[in-house]
Structure formats: structure tokens, C-alpha cells
Amino acid sequence: MTRSGLRGWESTQRQTAQGAVESEQRVRLVRPVVDGSVDGALRLGSAYWQEVERCTLGLVRAWQGLDGVELRLIGRPLLLAFGRPVTTLAGGSLRCCYPITGGLLAHRPGGEIVFAQDSVDDRLRLRSTITGFFPALAARPGEPDWTGALYSQVQRRVHLAISRRYFTRLIGETSR
């Protein structure tokens, strides 16, 4: 176990030359946290949105509709918008991917957030991955790093805290 209490917790983050953020959090699993079905893949996504609400004490609400998911601050300002989930099942791995379509915290639409349960080299892991996301609060290419302090000190840390709680909750639910 690591400081986070999760087995094999790893987190990586980088910003591309174009300004997109790429972030991945992952943990090792002893057993699957969801079954290997489309419903299992969708459960990975819905569990994350539930954890967003729990971790923010309901200040941020996840509205799931036909067009995807919206994260709203106390029901009003649209913080982030995601398209419909796309599920993939292949070779013992499953994933639920949401394209990022906009919101106040997105500088522009683009990128995705993926929740996955992977089986790689006989190792099972759970992961949350963001790729190609252009946060409104991050430093722009060519600007000083300090201009992205709000992203790195607030938004990024909130995502990491939610990811830890998300992993802990899913793993805990299978231990009962």
C-alpha cells in the first residue's frame, strides 16, 4: 500500500507543447471491480460522477442526460460538459470514454476522460486518464508557468483527490 492507501497508486501529469493536459492515475487490482460487460464499463463512468458529487459535498452536480454528462456548480454554471459515453470491451479490458465538449473550465472542446479496468501482462489495474484536454485555468503555450497556478493548485488537485476516492470506493465495494 502507498501513502494514499491504494495498492500500486501511480499518477502522471504533463502538458503538451500545444497546451493540452494529459493525466493518468492508476492502481493495481486484486480482483475486478466491475464485470466485463458494457454495463460494467458504464459503471466505471457513473461511479466517477457520483464521486465528484460526494467529494465536493454536492456543490458540483453531475447531470447525466441523453447527450452526455454536465458538471454544474450548484446547478447553475456549467463547469465541464462531456459527450455520450463510448464503451469498449477487448481482450479482458473495458473502458468508458467521455469526450470533453466544453464548459467554463475548458479553454476549448477537445480531449477525453477515460475510466478503464485493464488486464495487461496478467496484471489487473484500474485507471482514470485525461488526454487532449485544454483547461481554461492552465498556462498557455509561451506564457510563464505561474499563469497556470489555478489549474495546478486547484483543479488538478481536486481531480487527483476525486480519483483516489473513486478508486478506493470501487475497490471497497468489491471487498464486501
Q: What is the pLDDT of residues 44-83, one digit of tens each?
A: 999 999 999 999 999 999 999 899 999 999 978 999 999 9
Place 169 in a pLDDT band, splitting at 50, 70 and 90: very high
pTM passes above 0.85: yes
The per-residue pLDDT for 54 is: 95
Better-scored residue on pLDDT, 90 or 1? 90
Q: Topology of domain 10-170, per CATH?
A: Alpha-D-Glucose-1,6-Bisphosphate; Chain A, domain 4 (3.30.530)
Query: How does pLDDT run across 131-140, given as a tens digit for each residue?
Result: 999 888 765 6
**What's phi and psi for 49, nearest 5 deg?**
-65, -35
